[in-house]
A and B are shown apart, each in its own frame.
Chain A
Amino acid sequence: MAAQVVTITSGKGGVGKTTAAANIGVALASSGQRVVCIDADIGLRNLDVVMGLENRIVYDLVDIVEGRCKLRQAMIKDKRLPDLHLIPAAQTRDKTAVSPKDMQRLADEIRPDFDWVVIDSPAGIERGFRNAVAPADLVLIVTNPEVSAVRDADRIIGLVEAEEKGPPKLVINRVKPEMVRRGDMLSTEDVLEVLAIELIGVVPEDDQVLVSSNQGLPAALDPKSRAGRAFRDIARRLNGEQVPFEDLSARDGFLGRISRLVRPGGSA
């Protein structure tokens, strides 16, 4: 079966694209599927750092595109997960070193031998974004529950629609249930009301994510991490499983759940 190409993008920087790409890649690979992650952020690579593979880089994306190495030579195999591979970005070049056509050719070369290609897009709406989206079968938009991130996500959705990539799906990252409850943070519903696309994941804010990014151990590898579990749920939804969304505001145990069940006007 040919691989599906999933591009992870956001418009705004710093919302957690790279973290999402690493964790979704890890989660897919840990369920036994063959995965290639591609860092399309040429000039500012960091997917390798988050995945803990930085010290094994020999060749990069630009080397493949410019014919200095074979595809397989540039693929770094993750020792923890034998089905996970990374094609790192070049550090010394800029986004113009690769064209959307190059990315399509690269994806086509990878497709026959893998199940998933996960592309980490750079921030912005220029060349790097178009490179990352060009080969995509599915685009995931990562946003945070804050107005400026949602605004940029909306802009990106418009651009993805214009590329006729089909409707993108949404990952809301860094949700703080406590703040949502107080009304200080946009809720999932608020975000969906504006963006009106299908939700594929809600990831709670989790200090462990920062710690694990620094250590190069994606949170999806940690069975105790809440964010890690949310990323694993995204991977399962990508595989077509129906996974209910975890109620992040579940703070109050049995009574709280009962009161939500009997509340009039609920989702029933």
Chain B
Amino acid sequence: MAAPLPIKGVREGLLIAVPSGEWDDVRASLLATIDERGDFFRGARLALQMDDRELGAADLGELRDALASRDTSLYAVLSTSTVTKTAAANLALQTELTRPERSRVAEEDAEEGSLEEEVPADPALFLDRTLRSGQVVRHPGHVIVLGDVNPGAEIVAGGNVIVWGHLRGTVHAGAGGDETASVCALDLAPTQLRIAGRIAVSPKRRGAVRPEMALLREGQLIAQPWDDERRHG
């Protein structure tokens, strides 16, 4: 498996921080990541954060074609290098991100540092129905389901997932790499649960069904009763 790339949800798509190193290696690992997580990236618009890497129009054009053949589109390249910037501009790529216009209230609610790019700016998707086997919902923002998520159904969300019902299918929150994402359900019993890059399967149920929240704590995926979360969270 390729080394995980830092990915953030931004207003117009996904922002990938491209690590430093030999371009051929970096390029290969980027494409490998996209191949591995094809479901998540399918149809995505990508912005690449290149720092001071120097890339010519030939390299960028080739990368853009390689991404296009994977059903993703490159729309922006961010770099401090004038060479790279010029090349990107010549390929009609953006060289800056549009600043998300975030509400003041949301800003104040944010507890730590700059969440600016980490919270997907897309509005939440509200589904007033049960997701049945074979149905897949993919959304860059939060996903809220008023109904059940049955075994065989799948949710891939850039943000949080909230299910007002039984969650028995597969769910991936923070699919763009957001490790602060969480999954809540009245009955949290997913076939498989992922937050950012972590994967867990539900343990055998013991005791009565109660609302739970799954989140990442110190890199571990944990599920805790909703009551506890409110008391200590």
Contact = CB atoms under 8 A, between A and B. Distances in A.
A261 interface: no
B151 interface: yes
B132 interface: yes
A194 interface: yes
B137 to A, nearest CB: 12
Contacts of B132: 154-155, 157-158, 161
B148 A151 contact: no
B152 interface: yes
B43 interface: no
A143 to B, nearest CB: 12
A155 B132 CA distance: 6
B123 interface: no
A158 B135 contact: yes
A6 B202 CA distance: 39
Main secondary structure of the interface of A (DSSP, over half): helix
A194 B168 CA distance: 9
Interface residues of B, number: 12
A165 to B, nearest CB: 14
A193 B130 CA distance: 12
A218 to B, nearest CB: 31
A154 B169 CA distance: 12
A264 to B, nearest CB: 16
A151 B130 contact: no
Interface string B118-138: 000000000000111111000
B49 interface: no
A186 to B, nearest CB: 12
What 6 pairs between A and B have smallest CB-CB spacing? A158-B132, A154-B133, A155-B133, A155-B134, A154-B132, A151-B133
Given A158-B131, A194-B150, 18 more contacts: A151-B133, A152-B133, A154-B132, A154-B150, A154-B151, A154-B152, A155-B133, A155-B134, A155-B152, A157-B132, A158-B132, A158-B133, A158-B134, A161-B132, A194-B148, A194-B151, A196-B130, A196-B148
11 contacts: A152-B133, A154-B132, A154-B151, A154-B152, A155-B132, A155-B133, A155-B134, A158-B133, A158-B135, A194-B148, A194-B168
Interface of A: 147, 151-152, 154-155, 157-159, 161, 193-194, 196
